[in-house]
Amino acid sequence: MVLTPEEWVRQNTIQYLVKELDIPLSLINVEKQIKLHGTTKRYDIVTFNPDGSIFLIVECKADSIKISQDTFDQIARYNLVLQSTFLMVTNGIDHYYCKMDLQNQRYSFLETLPAYQK
């Protein structure tokens, strides 16, 4: 695998999830396909709760890519399928965290992610 700028962000984000949030590596899934409105998409990182539900979706961008509304729209579309409680968008420099209101299909920004519950 080539260490592209986006892959560097993804690998560092995984380290953050494991070392800082104490998410077990066995509950982290990287670069898997999902079907969305008849098209195949690939998410960057998904973390699972112990019961198998999704705790967090992470969208990684290269550090040269500015985080924009399009980035939030992209991860929100993925979440229509995945139904995660939390979203994270990062380019390795800027990090944004959101809590989902799945019933109303909205998200609210957080200062940081909550502690992971094992």
- The two beta strands, 54-60 and 45-48, are antiparallel
The per-residue pLDDT for 107 is 83
- Who wins on pLDDT, 16 or 76? 16
The per-residue pLDDT for 73 is 87
Residue 86 clears pLDDT 90, i.e. is over it = yes
- Please say whether the beta carbons of 31 and 43 come within 8 A: yes
- Please say whether the beta carbons of 101 and 45 come within 8 A: no
The per-residue pLDDT for 115 is 86
Q: How many domains does the chain have?
A: 1
Q: Quick check: is 116 in a domain?
A: no
Q: Quick check: is 118 in a domain?
A: no
Q: Quick check: is 104 in a domain?
A: yes
Q: Quick check: is 117 in a domain?
A: no
Residue 81 clears pLDDT 70, i.e. is over it = yes
Residue 97 lies in domain = 5-110
Helix (H, G, I), strand (E, B) or coil at 62: coil
Residue 105 clears pLDDT 90, i.e. is over it = no
Residues listed for the chain: 118
Domain of 18: which CATH number? Answer: 3.90.1570.30
Q: Quick check: is 78 in a domain?
A: yes
Q: Quick check: is 41 in a domain?
A: yes
Average pLDDT estimate for 38-66: 94
Q: Quick check: is 115 in a domain?
A: no
Q: Quick check: is 63 in a domain?
A: yes
Q: How confident is the model at residue 111 (pLDDT cuts 50, 70, 90)?
A: very high
